[in-house]
């Protein structure tokens, strides 16, 4: 038996049917491979569709400047030839602007509908992000480049301007003589731009595409990034401090009591976020429950007292209306409400890890001579680290992108980056900037994961 | 009842003060049921005492009370003559090996061993020396830097033993420490623990429900049932001289014949079995004439086809079943109205040739037949 | 044979599509919620007999609109938009350009586009209302001197308490300049210069420590009612609604109000284009425009609508006169600033960034 296999091993091994063994093996394995691939196909497609595609489009949008480059190709080509950027550009560049407008205005979409005007309109919006005023300057110029009879709505004459254009354009709108407008084209001349990312960290391109600081009064995002990290970090820490004892209770109390406690923990999940936020408003606002209670219980004492060492002293120990604590519509409000809202995300992973720590470890540690406190710190706590890690990462990641709570209770100094993403998405329509901020958030989360992996190890992470 | 027995126990050097003393200890968790009813036990220094009993019999509770994890409901536990009821576990200085070892998974083996020394504020060099010595003792010198999870079950077990010994405790408790191991490993560890006990002169209180383990390792065994110690004596006595039918039944294999006491003469009791046969037995634990009694017979003490007059008890029996066991043949007879009377017949050439259904005489000596409570 | 099958399939598909179209023919009108949407419901939707109109709410901005149009899955038909959004959206091609000849002239025969109080900015928009950002307070908040000017709103010494203001820059920057003494006609010229913007923000700095920010229209009333702030800016219709319908004792300070245009637009690729257009003709009629003011104190954009209202006083549904609550009476317009949407379309990003930076400081 063993002899034959040794002699045959030099030759091609065949199956009983005479098919080479390797081929047959590959065939049978391929079938299982295909089957398992088909099995994971639906979730894979779902993942691609719901996760990879949006992130891909987010990333591409954050650098995409193709649209404006299609509208103003000649202008940007001329920009490269413009030498002294402190002086107004030459006639060629003015002509390039007019030509680009004249080419674009005729663009039709696949169905033959005029979209040139809209392409120019969108370019105007885009250009305003770089320098205020572009929008009206472009639309004014379009109107002159394309004169329409008011009554008949017919084009009387396609272009009323003939070269040279420079003086005519400046005459039409003196802003064409402002070199700052021309300079601002530099930031848009490439189809892919880092401009949105720079904007998101309070930097910008100058006329020569060097990276420079934004004007002091326009600097905002760095403050907000730091605040976002601050809030997320503080919320994470407060959640941990509050959640740890609660999770410990949940894990160690008898089933009946811990079930009741668990319901209390999960209650917020069953209540609308808005309702909870409004409840906090009622609690914490200037004339809210907490301040009213403080007013009621704190003593109001005013008058002269003979104190030892100090002698007669005028004491004003009154908690009056001016002393009411500002706890809402500010940083404090954001921290308090977010901590409450995110607390379950901290409790549950810690609880599930604690539940898996056998009580014998604590007993063993005490038996070996450690006081209960020491046993807890040296033996129990290190074993709950995977839960702490998971809870902290979960809370931090959710907090870093939070926006509803800060929007409603953040007021002036409790606003986070998520609110600016929303603002750029909804109001200013600067989606490139919103995408860049989203991408930075994503990167921050990935860095966090990486740091956790380096410090504690991802295998030490138990989500439940 | 075990109190007076223990004083007779030869292994206990009665002159010496017991290291551990349970005195009238009672335990209840809910105020309704006593899990431990009235526990009394003295453990002499250097003794290996096993608490043996079925699960729920209260043996582990007694161990936990000794370790300090459960308060006694009533009674006192003394360690070296001092009551320790109010001493917290970490001040008792008792080593313990837990059922699932309770090795700290986030520490290396060496850190696990170093932990009790650390909390005792021992210097680093001394600690390292002690840890290395303890690891060498359990043949794990190479494994100090591993995590417990990287070790096999047997190795983990040894680490647990080493950890319980590393701080030189007066007393080591072991709570079914071998339960998680397979049979071969378990037997090997039994010997290792026994050797450690002997070579280091340890005092060990050991809990198990495995009677073989208890017999192999212990100086004395306390048999628990239902919160009460039924007998506490050496393994030999427990096997040879069970004091009641529970112990006789629980330790080793045992044939039981039920009957009524006919006469008592000295230490000989005559018992009439329910089938009407009269058996002469050694009186151990029976009341007066007319009381119910259980006759206990070890299967290896039954003689098949005894010479006439050699055994005071000889009865005709029918072979019901023969089971080949290699070194012996396990034979089931029906005798004295019993149809599962087991006899172990050594597998030797000069033995009677038995066949199923064959009628044959079997007999036993009166000293091999114990008359116990009915 | 193949042809027959294809034809059958096509016919089936068409009839299914028509059926779906018929079921879907409920026009979706997106507006701002609250009393404003309620007035539109009563004046336009309830009086409209040629089809169903479903009203839903949004919180402003063109983000959702642009997302729908760009992705090609348009859910909304008609949206009620701010002046600057009306311009940006039309420029970007998010809205349909409408056939102006379809809209109804005024009772006097004036075409709709010549009947509006400001020139129609483009062919996408349908006249809606005038509204304003305006400060208000409770009648019993201050004893003695009562706030009466925009300066008083910025004077926390004279009128203590916090101020509720919104989280975006428009209107509040104009108000700051006006309160600082800039003449109404010069406001946008001043604001166009660096120094002018600095001046506006310097004025805002004077109330920085006394400010509570709001971002939804209902919030200012909560802030005033709870006593969180003593004075707040609000949309004038929110204040008027509470006064006219619920008898709230709010006092509106009209001086320095910033008047904003509001337009209806039809989204490009709207699912019910024809039905929506039909509804827009109805909603923009002089009568419908006037009717809306029966339910809220926002002024009609069409001059003829205002004429009908004035002739019909007391016009409000509860039987009280409405004109004195309107932002665009001569008396209230005396200290009123007309918002400049072109200016905001040009400068919105930069000034809003600066405002956000100011908020966050």
Instruction: Count CB pairs under 8 A between chains A and C.
Output: 114
Q: By the 8 A CB rule, do A104 and A71 touch? A: yes
Residue C170 scores a pLDDT above 90: yes
The number of folded domains in chain A is 3
Dihedral of the alpha carbons of C99, C103, C106, C107, in degrees to the nearest 10: 140
pLDDT at A160: 60
pLDDT at A411: 79
**Residue keyed to tokens 């402002």:** A178
pLDDT at A96: 93
Cα distances from A41 to residues A26, A37, A189, in angstroms, run 21, 6, 42
Ramachandran quadrant class, B174 (left: phi over 0; alpha: psi -120 to 50; beta: rest) = beta
Encoded tokens for B370: 């114990």
A143 found inside a domain: yes
Ramachandran quadrant class, A301 (left: phi over 0; alpha: psi -120 to 50; beta: rest) = beta
Q: Residue C28 belongs to a domain with what CATH number?
A: 3.40.190.10
Question: Chain A residue closest to C81 (CA)?
Answer: A427
A268 in C contact zone (CB under 8 Å): no
Q: Across the interface, do C227 and A328 touch by the CB < 8 Å criterion?
A: no
Encoded tokens for C22: 């018929």
Neighbours of A88 (CB within 10 A): 18
Query: Last residue of a domain, which of A63, A80, A103?
Result: A63
| Cα distance between residue A20 and residue A28, in whole Å | 12
| Cα distance between residue A139 and residue A156, in whole Å | 18
Residue A429 scores a pLDDT above 90: no
Cα distances from C30 to residues C40, C79, C273, in angstroms, run 11, 5, 14
Residue C186 scores a pLDDT above 90: yes
pLDDT at A6: 47
More confident residue, A161 or B251: B251
| Cα distance between residue B228 and residue B231, in whole Å | 9
When pLDDT is averaged across residues C70-84 and rounded to a whole number, the result is 94
Question: Chain A residue closest to C99 (CA)?
Answer: A153
Fold for domain B253-373? OB fold (Dihydrolipoamide Acetyltransferase, E2P) (2.40.50)
Where exactly are the structural domains of chain B?
2-245, 253-373
From chain C, pick out residues whose CB is under 8 angstroms from the CB of A134. Answer: 346
ipTM of the complex model: 0.84
Paired strand residues for B261: B271
Range of the domain at C123: 2-130+261-328
- Position A148 confidence tier, pLDDT thresholds 50, 70, 90: low
Query: Do C87 and C126 belong to one domain?
Result: yes
Residue A243 scores a pLDDT above 80: yes
Neighbours of B233 (CB within 10 A): 25
Residue numbers in chain B where pLDDT is lower than 50: 1-14
Residue C21 scores a pLDDT above 70: no
Q: H-helix or E-strand containing A347?
A: helix A331-355
| Cα distance between residue A452 and residue A397, in whole Å | 13
Query: How far apart are the two ends of chain C, measured CA to CA in Å?
Result: 76
Residue C101 scores a pLDDT above 80: yes
Residue C4 scores a pLDDT above 80: no
Structure letter (DSSP) for residue B271:
E
Query: Do A383 and A453 belong to one domain?
Result: yes
pLDDT at C20: 45
Q: Across the interface, do A217 and C357 touch by the CB < 8 Å criterion?
A: yes
Q: DSSP letters of B120-154?
A: TT--HHHHHHHHHHHHHHTT-GGGTTS-GGGS-HH
Distance from CA of A344 to the nearest CA of B (A): 26
Structure letter (DSSP) for residue A108:
B
From chain A, pick out residues whose CB is under 8 angstroms from the CB of B131. Answer: none
Paired strand residues for C166: C214
| Cα distance between residue B3 and residue B21, in whole Å | 11
Residue of C93, C347, C359 with shortest CB distance to A412: C359
B102 in A contact zone (CB under 8 Å): yes
When pLDDT is averaged across residues C3-29 and rounded to a whole number, the result is 56
What is the rounded radius of gyration, in angstroms, for the C-alpha atoms of chain C? 22
Neighbours of chain B (3+ CB pairs under 8 A): A
A122 in C contact zone (CB under 8 Å): yes
What is the rounded radius of gyration, in angstroms, for the C-alpha atoms of chain B? 24
Apex C140 CA angle, A277 and C235, nearest 5? 55
Apex B334 CA angle, B328 and B340, nearest 5? 65
> Could you tell me which of A409, A128, A460, A155 has the C-alpha nearest to residue A283?
A409
Query: Do A186 and A227 belong to one domain?
Result: no
Query: Do A130 and A271 belong to one domain?
Result: no
Q: By the 8 A CB rule, do C316 and C322 touch? A: yes
When pLDDT is averaged across residues A79-85 and rounded to a whole number, the result is 91
pLDDT at B350: 67
B106 in A contact zone (CB under 8 Å): yes
> Could you tell me which of C292, C160, C162 has the C-alpha nearest to residue C220?
C162
Q: DSSP letters of A193-252?
A: -SHHHHHHTTEEE-TTS-EEEPPGGG--HHHHHHHHHHHHHHHHHHHHHHHHHHHHHHHH
Encoded tokens for B174: 């072991």
> Could you tell me which of C21, C83, C11 has the C-alpha nearest to residue C264?
C83
Of A150-154, B256-260, C102-106, which range is least confident?
A150-154
Apex C17 CA angle, C15 and C18, nearest 5? 65
When pLDDT is averaged across residues A230-234 and rounded to a whole number, the result is 95
Chain A, 300 to 359: residues with Cβ < 8 Å from chain B are 358
Map residue C34 onto helix, strand or coil.
helix
pLDDT tens for C334-349 read: 999 999 999 998 998 8
Map residue B333 onto helix, strand or coil.
strand
Residue of B92, B100, B119 with shortest CB distance to A358: B100
Query: Do C339 and C313 belong to one domain?
Result: no
From chain A, pick out residues whose CB is under 8 angstroms from the CB of B90. Answer: 366-372, 375
Query: Do C104 and C6 belong to one domain?
Result: yes
Neighbours of chain A (3+ CB pairs under 8 A): B, C
Looking from the CA of A374 toward its CB, the CA atoms found within 13 Å total 15
Question: Chain B residue closest to A379 (CA)?
Answer: B104
Neighbours of chain C (3+ CB pairs under 8 A): A
Residue of B89, B104, B105 with shortest CB distance to A366: B89
| Cα distance between residue B225 and residue C185, in whole Å | 102
| CATH fold match for the domains B2-245 and B253-373 | no
Query: Do A50 and A134 belong to one domain?
Result: no
Query: Do C38 and C119 belong to one domain?
Result: yes
What is the rounded radius of gyration, in angstroms, for the C-alpha atoms of chain A? 34
Encoded tokens for C116: 């509006």
When pLDDT is averaged across residues C180-193 and rounded to a whole number, the result is 95
When pLDDT is averaged across residues A158-180 and rounded to a whole number, the result is 82
Question: Chain A residue closest to C202 (CA)?
Answer: A217
- Position C98 confidence tier, pLDDT thresholds 50, 70, 90: very high
Structure letter (DSSP) for residue A166:
H
What is the overall mean pLDDT for chain B?
88
Q: Across the interface, do B89 and A374 touch by the CB < 8 Å criterion?
A: no
**Residue keyed to tokens 């006064």:** C243
Q: Across the interface, do A368 and B104 touch by the CB < 8 Å criterion?
A: no
A77 found inside a domain: yes
Encoded tokens for A305: 């007292």
Q: Across the interface, do A428 and C348 touch by the CB < 8 Å criterion?
A: yes
What is the overall mean pLDDT for chain C?
90
A288 in C contact zone (CB under 8 Å): yes
Structure letter (DSSP) for residue B180:
T
Paired strand residues for A406: none
Encoded tokens for C265: 């637009």
**Strand spans (E) along B3-149:** 20-28, 34-43, 48-52, 74-79, 82-83, 94-97
Query: Do A281 and A385 belong to one domain?
Result: yes
C95 in A contact zone (CB under 8 Å): no
Residue of A365, A367, A370 with shortest CB distance to B67: A367
| Cα distance between residue C106 and residue C286, in whole Å | 6
| Cα distance between residue B339 and residue C157, in whole Å | 109
Range of the domain at A56: 2-63
C318-340 per-residue burial string, b: 16 or more CB within 10 A, e: under 16: eeeebbebbbbbeebbebbbbbb
Question: Max Cα separation, chain B?
Answer: 76
From chain A, pick out residues whose CB is under 8 angstroms from the CB of C357. Answer: 217-220, 223
Cα distances from C154 to residues A17, B343, C132, C172, C233, in angstroms, run 96, 109, 18, 11, 11
Ramachandran quadrant class, A462 (left: phi over 0; alpha: psi -120 to 50; beta: rest) = beta
pLDDT tens for A266-290 read: 888 888 888 999 899 989 988 889 9
Query: Do A274 and A409 belong to one domain?
Result: yes
Instruction: Count CB pairs under 8 A between chains A and B.
Output: 66
C227 in A contact zone (CB under 8 Å): yes
What is the domain class of B2-245 according to CATH?
alpha beta
> Could you tell me which of C338, C316, C288 has the C-alpha nearest to residue C132?
C338
Map residue C71 onto helix, strand or coil.
helix
Q: DSSP letters of C212-260?
A: EEE-STTHHHHHHHHTS-SEEEEEHHHHHHHHHHH---EEE--TT-EEE
Query: Do A391 and A374 belong to one domain?
Result: yes
Cβ contact B–C (≥3 pairs, < 8 Å): no
| Cα distance between residue B340 and residue B323, in whole Å | 13
The number of folded domains in chain C is 2
Say if residue A152 is exposed, middle or buried (CB neighbours under 10 Å; 0-12, 13-18, 19+). exposed
Say if residue C344 is exposed, middle or buried (CB neighbours under 10 Å; 0-12, 13-18, 19+). buried
Q: What are phi and psi of C144, to 5 degrees?
A: 75, -130
Cα distances from A24 to residues A5, A7, A31, A232, B353, in angstroms, run 18, 21, 11, 57, 60
Query: Do C302 and C157 belong to one domain?
Result: no
Residue of C212, C347, C357 with shortest CB distance to A329: C212
Chain A, 137 to 196: residues with Cβ < 8 Å from chain C are 137, 139
Q: By the 8 A CB rule, do B100 and B175 touch? A: no
Q: Can you give the three-state secondary structure of C280-315, one letter per residue?
A: HHHHCCHHHHHHHCCCCCCEECEHHHHHHHHHCCCC
Structure letter (DSSP) for residue B17:
P
């Amino acid at each position: 038996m063993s002899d034959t296999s040794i002699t045959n091993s030099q030759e091609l091994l065949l199956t009983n049917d005479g098919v080479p063994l390797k081929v047959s093996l590959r065939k049978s394995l391929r079938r299982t491979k295909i089957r398992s691939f088909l099995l994971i196909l639906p979730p894979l497609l779902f993942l691609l569709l719901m996760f990879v595609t949006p992130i891909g489009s987010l990333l591409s949008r954050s650098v995409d400047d193709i649209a404006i480059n299609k509208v103003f190709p000649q202008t940007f080509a001329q920009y490269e030839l413009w030498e002294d950027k402190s002086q107004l550009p030459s006639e060629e560049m003015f002509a390039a602007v007019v030509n680009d407008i004249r080419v674009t205005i005729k663009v039709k979409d696949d169905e033959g509908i005029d979209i040139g005007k809209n392409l120019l309109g969108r370019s105007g919006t885009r250009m305003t992000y770089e320098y205020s005023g572009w929008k009206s300057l472009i639309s004014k110029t379009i109107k002159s480049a394309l004169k329409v009879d008011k009554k008949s709505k017919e084009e009387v004459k396609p272009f009323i301007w003939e070269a040279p254009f420079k003086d005519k354009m400046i005459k039409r709108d003196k802003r064409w003589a402002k070199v700052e407008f021309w300079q601002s084209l530099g930031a848009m001349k490439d189809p892919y731009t880092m401009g949105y990312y720079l904007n998101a960290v309070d930097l910008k391109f100058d006329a020569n595409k060097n990276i420079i600081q934004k004007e002091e009064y326009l600097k905002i995002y760095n403050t907000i990034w730091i605040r976002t990290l601050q809030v997320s970090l503080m919320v994470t820490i407060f959640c941990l401090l509050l959640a740890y004892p609660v999770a410990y209770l949940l894990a160690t109390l008898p089933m009946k009591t811990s079930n009741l406690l668990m319901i209390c923990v999960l209650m917020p999940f069953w209540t609308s976020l808005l309702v909870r936020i409004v409840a906090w408003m009622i609690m914490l606002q200037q004339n809210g429950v907490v301040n009213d209670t403080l007013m009621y219980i704190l003593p109001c004492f005013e008058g002269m007292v003979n104190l030892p060492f100090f002698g007669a002293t005028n004491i004003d120990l009154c908690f009056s209306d001016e002393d009411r604590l500002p706890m809402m519509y500010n940083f404090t409000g954001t921290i308090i409400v977010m901590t409450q809202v995110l607390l379950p995300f901290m409790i549950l992973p810690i609880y599930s890890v604690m539940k898996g720590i056998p009580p014998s470890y604590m007993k063993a540690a005490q038996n070996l001579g450690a006081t209960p406190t020491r046993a807890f710190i040296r033996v129990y706590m290190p074993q709950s680290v995977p839960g702490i890690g998971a809870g902290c990462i979960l809370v931090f990641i959710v907090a870093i992108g939070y926006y509803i709570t800060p929007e409603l209770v953040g007021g002036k100094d409790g606003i986070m980056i998520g609110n600016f993403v929303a603002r750029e998405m909804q109001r200013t329509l600067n989606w490139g900037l919103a995408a860049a901020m989203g991408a930075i958030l994503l990167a921050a989360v990935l860095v966090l994961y990486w740091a956790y992996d380096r410090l504690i190890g991802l295998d030490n992470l138990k989500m439940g | 009842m075990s109190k007076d027995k223990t004083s007779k126990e030869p292994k206990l050097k009665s002159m010496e003060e017991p290291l551990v003393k349970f005195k009238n200890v009672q335990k209840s968790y809910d105020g309704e049921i006593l899990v431990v009813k009235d526990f009394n036990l003295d453990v002499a220094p250097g003794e290996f005492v096993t608490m043996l009993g079925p699960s729920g019999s209260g043996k582990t509770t007694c161990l936990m009370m000794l370790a300090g994890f459960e308060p006694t409901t009533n009674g006192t536990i003394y360690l070296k003559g001092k009551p320790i009821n109010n001493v917290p576990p970490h001040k008792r200085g008792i080593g313990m090996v837990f059922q699932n070892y309770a090795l700290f998974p986030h520490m290396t083996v060496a850190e696990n061993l170093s932990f009790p020394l650390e909390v005792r504020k021992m210097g680093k060099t001394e600690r390292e020396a002690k840890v290395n010595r303890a690891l060498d003792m359990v043949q794990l010198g190479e494994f100090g830097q591993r995590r417990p999870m990287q070790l096999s079950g047997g190795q983990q077990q040894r680490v647990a033993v080493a950890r319980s010994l590393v701080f030189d405790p007066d007393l080591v408790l072991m709570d079914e420490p071998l339960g998680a191991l397979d049979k071969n490993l378990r037997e090997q560890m039994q010997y290792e623990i026994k050797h450690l006990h002997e070579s280091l002169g340890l005092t060990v209180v050991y809990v198990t429900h495995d009677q073989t383990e208890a017999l192999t390792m212990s100086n004395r065994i306390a048999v628990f049932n239902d919160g009460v110690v039924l007998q506490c004596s050496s393994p030999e006595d427990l096997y040879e001289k069970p004091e009641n039918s529970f112990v006789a039944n629980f330790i080793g294999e045992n044939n039981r014949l039920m009957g009524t006491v006919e006469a008592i003469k000295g230490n000989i009791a005559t018992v009439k079995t329910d089938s009407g046969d009269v058996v002469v037995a050694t009186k151990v634990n029976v009341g007066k004439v007319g009381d119910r009694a259980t006759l206990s017979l070890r299967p290896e003490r039954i003689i098949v086809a005894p010479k006439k007059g050699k055994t005071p008890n000889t009865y005709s029996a029918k072979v019901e079943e023969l089971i080949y066991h290699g070194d012996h043949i396990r034979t089931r007879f029906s005798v004295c109205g019993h149809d599962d009377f087991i006899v172990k017949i050594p597998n030797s050439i000069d033995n009677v040739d038995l066949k199923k259904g064959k009628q044959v005489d079997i007999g036993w000596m009166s000293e091999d037949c114990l008359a116990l409570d009915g | 044979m193949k042809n027959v099958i294809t034809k059958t399939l096509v016919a089936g598909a068409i009839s299914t599509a028509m059926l779906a179209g018929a079921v879907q023919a409920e026009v979706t009108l997106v507006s701002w919620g609250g009393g404003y949407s309620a007035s539109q419901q009563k004046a336009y939707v309830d009086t409209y007999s040629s089809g169903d109109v479903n009203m839903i709410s949004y919180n402003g901005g063109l983000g959702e609109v642009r997302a729908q149009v760009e992705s090609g899955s348009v859910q909304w038909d008609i949206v009620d938009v701010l002046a600057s959004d009306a311009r940006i959206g039309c420029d970007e091609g998010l809205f349909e350009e409408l056939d102006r000849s379809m809209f109804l002239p005024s009772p006097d025969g004036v075409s709709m586009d010549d009947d509006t109080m400001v020139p129609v900015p483009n062919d996408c928009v349908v006249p809606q209302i005038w509204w304003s950002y305006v400060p208000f307070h409770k009648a019993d908040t201050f004893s003695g001197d009562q706030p009466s000017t925009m300066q008083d709103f910025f004077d926390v010494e004279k009128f203590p308490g916090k101020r509720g203001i919104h989280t975006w820059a428009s209107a509040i920057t104009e108000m700051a300049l006006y309160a600082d003494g800039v003449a109404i006609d010069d406001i946008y010229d001043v604001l166009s210069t660096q120094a002018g913007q600095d001046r506006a923000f310097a004025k805002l700095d004077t109330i920085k420590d006394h400010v509570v920010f709001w971002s939804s229209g209902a919030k200012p009333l909560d802030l005033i009612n709870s006593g969180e702030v003593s004075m707040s800016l609000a949309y004038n219709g929110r204040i008027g609604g509470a006064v006219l319908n619920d008898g709230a004792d709010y006092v509106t300070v009209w001086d320095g109000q910033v008047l904003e245009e509001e337009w209806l637009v039809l989204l490009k690729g709207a699912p019910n284009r024809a039905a929506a257009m039909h509804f827009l003709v109805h909603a923009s009629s002089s009568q419908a425009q006037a009717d809306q003011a029966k339910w809220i104190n926002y002024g009609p954009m069409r001059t003829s609508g205002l004429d009908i209202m004035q002739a019909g006083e007391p016009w409000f549904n509860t039987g009280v006169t409405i004109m004195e609550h309107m932002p665009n009476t001569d008396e209230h317009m005396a200290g009123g600033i007309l918002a400049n949407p072109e200016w905001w379309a040009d400068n919105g990003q930069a000034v809003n960034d600066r405002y956000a930076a100011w908020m966050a400081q």
